Structure 1
């Protein structure tokens, strides 16, 4: 029961954060930011957000910019989900490098 609720909250946060990043990335040309996964703690106080950033060369600098704007992003998220959630979780952002890992494996297998 508890796992289902956490999954639903994670999917809601993933959808809304994806919309927020899509609107913010419109000002940046040639950059695509997508939310690949959101993991929520059992007490709904912390959400780990995994971002997939394309091109990956700009990943670290964009991640730092996003981390500096965490409070503003959390506020925007709170405005969007205030009717669904009572407490907005603290957000921590990480780079999801699984696509780079898969690409590296493919290159190794093609040799």
Structure 2
């Protein structure tokens, strides 16, 4: 399958799972509406799709949400298989994605460097 079609299928899967979470169609109590599906990577042979999940909650609660999604994977796959018309629907693998928290940490470090840089600049001018 072409790269473009894999990306497009991944986006469709991401949109549908996000919609299911927001509409609370997944009945597992660990699956919170605060969970965010960042991206979906579909393998070339459509055998599996890696679903990257993050949240603004702490990592422990997000990990519980990922476990809830893993336990509901069969329901999610069957629901999506009915909505999306593809011959073979990929097996869903849910993975905790740390990119948002890493991004926040990076922004925080940049702010600290900027503050330190401003303090150093103001200190040099006084001397």
Whether the TM-score (by the shorter chain) exceeds 0.5 is: yes
Q: Please state if 1:20 is matched with 2:17.
A: no
TM-score of the aligned structures, taking structure 2 as reference length: 0.74
Report the structure, 1 or 2, having the larger strand content. 1
CA distance in 2, matches of 1:71, 1:16: 14
TM-aligned CA deviation for residue 88 of structure 1? 1.0
Q: How many residues align?
A: 108
Distance 1:26 1:69, change over 3 A: closer
Number of the residue aligned with 1:3: 3
Alignment of 1:46-65 (within 5 A): 46-57=48-59, 58-65=61-68
Number of the residue aligned with 1:110: 111
1:7-53 Cα deviation digits (max 9, x unpaired): 1111111111111121228987x741221101000011110001122
Distance 1:45 1:26, change over 3 A: closer
Structure 1 unmatched ranges of 5 or more: none
Structure 2 unmatched ranges of 5 or more: 113-127
The RMSD of aligned alpha carbons is: 2.2
SS of structure 1 residue aligned to 2:18: helix
TM-score of the aligned structures, taking structure 1 as reference length: 0.84
